[in-house]
Structure 1
Amino acid sequence: MADQGGRQRLLLPTLALLTTITAVVSSLGAPLVPSIAEAYDVRLTTAQWSLTATLLTGAVATPIVGRFASGRLRRPTILVGLAVVTTGTAIAIVPTSYGVLVAGRAMQGVGMALLPLAIAVARDALVGEPMNRAIALLSVTTVAGAGLGYPLTSLVAELGGLSAAYALGTVLTGATLLMAWRHLPGSAEAAPMRVDWAGAGLLSVGMLAVLLAVSEGEVWGWASARTLGLGLGGAALLVVWCAWTLRSRSPLVDLRMAVRPGIAAPNLVALVAGLGMYCLLTLSVVLVRADEPGFGLAMPIWVAGLILVPYSLMSVLGNQLARVVRVRIGSGALLPTGCLMFLVSTVVLALWHEHLWQLLLAMALGGVGSGFTFSSLAVLMVPHLPQAETGSAMAFNQVLRYLGFTIGSATSVALMAAYGGGSHGFRATLLTVSSLFVVAAVGAVLLDRAAPAPRVAPH
């Protein structure tokens, strides 16, 4: 009984560590991209794939893991996922070739698929307001973890090189694996659902083709046969995937559920907020490291990591503010407010980016918006979902968030170059993203009006 009580007390810390550390590992990308470009002698847009590969794997792995781990295989799936992440970080330690590095980074993306499983574990173990607080905490740890990971991994890379940063990631994920092995409970649910591997293949290839076309279009030429072929071919595959998914008896994600009232607004905001978040993070690193006439702060890599400290700290504040707004004003104000916070951050950075303090201010504002928004998504969705569908619905929301991350990562640098680069390209890219937040805020308001009253959580 004592062992069972200890496991129960340590369950939430274990889940929070799991989601935080996997976010830290995913942060082994953005602040290191300029250093990777220099170390492996590749272009900046090519080096950006050391981040994009991780995000793309997370976007594809999340629905697969969400379906496969919907039953009694949840615990072993989490443990295997952590083992894959640990192996991927270990592979990246040895500087063999850029292709090997990207492969290791892609393996690390599996860890991003574990957040919905952590939320499902929390929902099974907790009820009422403690469940809501736990879900919000786990949702925001991904933001806080990335924010903590940026300065930590950047400092280690500054002192010991890229290999030292990935060695740190290996140690952290290995320790998380051991803690999960000790404290994660098993599940007595039915057998897992069948995975739609054909759908997974269509989704993976389609997204990869579109992202390759977008990220490499500046080099290949936007009107070249390679760019147009990949872009249009990938878009066609994604259309086929949607049609396949709607007809499948066991779809990878339930697209019909994704557009239900009460679910549609969080899904829309997840996509846009994810895109805006990684565009903001990526361009902030570019600004810190750039040394061009009239643009760039020309600062070392550890400063690129340091800019995420206010982002991380303020994301925790954003989480707390969301709780206050939900209790005092109502849940309908959560998503529009979060989008407007993001909007202020991107506009501030677009207009004023000549000094480090301006960047830190914009990142702090973005952190508030990020914590406010991402901590609200699961809390808003869960009351509208049958318990058996929680994992699948949260997985799709996570897919949209990671898809936004991936698009933001792959397109931010390319879009900046397409706008002419330098300060003008930087400003134009951020203002483009700002317009998306306006659309998302309006969409969240309109979609929320159609939402039914949520189910009351049992006490």
Structure 2
Amino acid sequence: MSDAGGRPRLLLPTLALLTTITAVVSSLGAPLVPSIASAYDIRLTTAQWSLTATLLTGAVATPIVGRFASGRLRRPTILAGLAVVTLGTAIAIVPTSYGVLVAGRAMQGVGMALLPLAIAVARDAWVGEPMNRAIALLSVTTVAGAGLGYPVTSLVAELGGLPAAYALGTVLTGATLLMAWRHLPGSAEPVPMRVDWAGAVLLSLGMLAVLLAVSEGEVWGWTSPRTLGLGLAGAAVLVGWVLWTLRSATPLVDLRMAVRPGVAAPNLVALIAGLGMYCLLTLSVVLVRADEPGFGLAMPVWVAGVILVPYSVMSVLGNQLARGARVTLGPGFLLPTGCLTFLASTVLLALAHDHLWQLLLAMGIGGVGSGFTFSSLAVLMVPHLPQAETGSAMAFNQVLRYLGFTIGSAASVALMAAYGGRSHGFEMTLLTVSSLFVVAAAGAVALDRAAPRRAAALPTA
């Protein structure tokens, strides 16, 4: 069945379901980490890899999929990506070993790379205001889906255990795969761009080494040869990746574009806001589940899911507030406001976390900051980009956001342990994250002021 424009009638619902894959993947992560640690009898920092592996895969897969899936390969790439995610959730159902679970979670991270492809399909299928409404809907479903996914999957895990939660994920991703196979159109665009596979390998190895050193430093010792050697080796590989990328004719991401006037500030904020957001979400789950003398609310896993509801609802409100602020106060107001709102959330939670209502209030404020920040990134970047380079620049911004998610996931629990754990470690970790938001707000203001002066000296094509 097709509509009057020749599009499959269920194309928009299919794309909306596709964009919830990111929410489904994330909802099978943070709230379940303490349950995974208990089920597999492992440390919390080790269990955190069930979330970090997903985010790491998403960070690496996004630019690769974005390059590979242009042109006629877009539809088969989306279908293949959904198949990988479905298989990953199915693998996680069977309680075999923690290594198998992490492998399944890493496969689920491919779903995080599919959001830009869904938006690309919408751009081809609609024009004008219908296209704007479709893209806005796809953006909202990721936030709303997370708000629904966290409590639902947490409740399912509470009633049926971890296998039931991953079985729910398998059903949802399998249904999405069937819908996409039936209703997703092909593309008549030319041959896709080349993928810098060497750059992808370097980026993956470098990030993996650094994150492994950060997450395991507490056990190995922060000054041990293993921790220092792995961390320095990872940093060296990342430097090598930068040099390789700058010389590549077909780079995985265009690093030169990342520091252009008007683009540098959104990229800086995407990285730090992503890091801070996942620190906030991860530590909130730790607070809900912890039951230690002087620290923790000792509540079940479904409550860990419910805490994201005010965050998601207020993110939508933050998005609406950002639209009004852009018109009345100007675009330069958006990113500093988002960062300072995030700052208020983390400082509040660091100072007051003895009751659930305090946590819910902090999460609501953080949601406003999230809506202000993440909804503004594309709006601020696009006027400073040539049309042909918009897709590449937005993909890199999304990679930075996923890198922030990954670092925040791996570093939050490790940093809390390094500060001594319990209430003191919790407070100091949040205050450390708060200082990063100050840096991001100041950097956004400085870069925004420098942009008009520098833009005049740059070519526009």
Pick the TM interval, shorter chain: over 0.9
Q: Which residue of 1 aligns with 2:30?
A: 30
The one-letter amino acid of 1:16's match is A
Aligned match of 2:41: 41
User: For the Cα contact (< 8 Å) 1:245–1:253, is it kept in 2?
Assistant: yes
**Equivalent in the alignment of 2:225:** 225
Q: Is the 8 A contact 2:3 2:9 kept in 1?
A: no
- Distance (whole Å) between structure 1 residues aligned to residue 129 and residue 375 of structure 2: 14
> Aligned letter for 2:269?
V
The one-letter code sitting in structure 2 at the alignment partner of 1:239 is V
Determine if contact 1:143/1:371 at 8 Å carries over to the other structure.
no
Per the normalisation by structure 1, the TM-score is 0.94
Q: Deviations over 1:346-396 (max 9, x none)?
A: 111011000000000001111111122112212222333334333322211
The aligned amino acid for 2:92 is A
State the shift of 1:66 in Å: 1.0
Structure 2 equivalent of residue 205 of structure 1 = 205
Q: Which 10-residue stretch deviates more, 164-173 or 436-445?
A: 436-445
Question: 1:183: how far off?
Answer: 3.1
d(CA) in 2 for partners of 1:204, 1:401? 16
Displacement of 1:326 in angstroms is 2.2
What are structure 1's unaligned runs of at least 5 residues? 455-459
In structure 2, distance between residues paired with 1:366 and 1:396:
24
Q: How does 1:134-213 map to 2 (within 5 A)?
A: 134-213=134-213
* In structure 1, distance between residues paired with 2:19 and 2:202: 28
Question: What one-letter code is carried by the residue in structure 2 that aligns with 1:336?
Answer: P
Distance 2:13 2:327 in 1: 25
1:315 matched to which residue of 2?
315
- Preserved contact between residue 37 and residue 47 of structure 2 (Cα < 8 Å): yes
Return the offset for 1:265.
Answer: 1.4
Distance 2:39 2:382 in 1: 45
- Per the alignment, residue 459 of structure 2 pairs with none
Residues 383/184 of structure 1: CA separation in 2 closer, same or farther (3 Å cut): farther
2 CA distance for matches of 1:307 and 1:384? 37
Within 5 A, what are the aligned runs for 1:32-111? 32-111=32-111
Whether the 8 Å CA contact 1:26–1:108 is kept in 2: the answer is no
Shift of 1:5: 4.0
Say if 1:140 and 1:371, in contact at 8 Å, map to a contact too. no
The count of residues paired between Structure 1 and Structure 2 equals 454
1:212–1:37 distance in 2 versus 1, CA, 3 Å: same
Gap change, CA 1:59 and 1:82, over 3 Å in 2: same
- State how far apart, in whole Å, the 1-side matches of 2:120 and 2:211 are: 30
Matches within 5 A, 1:376-395: 376-395=376-395
Report if the CA contact (8 A) 1:157-1:163 is conserved: yes
Alpha-carbon separation, structure 2, partners of 1:173 and 1:31? 19
Q: TM-score, normalised by structure 2?
A: 0.94
Structure 2 equivalent of residue 457 of structure 1: none
Retained in 1: the 8 A contact 2:322–2:376?
yes
> What do you get for the CA RMSD once the two structures are aligned?
1.9
What is the Cα deviation at residue 10 of structure 1?
4.2
- Residue 192 of structure 2 aligns with an amino acid whose one-letter code is P
Match of 1:239 in 2: 239
- Distance in 2 (CA, whole Å) between partners of 1:395 and 1:188 is 22
Alignment-derived partner of residue 253 in structure 2: 253
Distance in 2 of aligned mates of 1:12 and 1:376: 24
Is this contact kept in 2: 1:90–1:170, CA < 8 A? yes
Q: Which amino acid aligns with 1:173?
A: T
What is the distance in 2 between the residues matched to 1:52 and 1:112? 13
SS in structure 1 of the partner of residue 42 of structure 2: coil
Q: Which residue of 2 aligns with 1:266?
A: 266
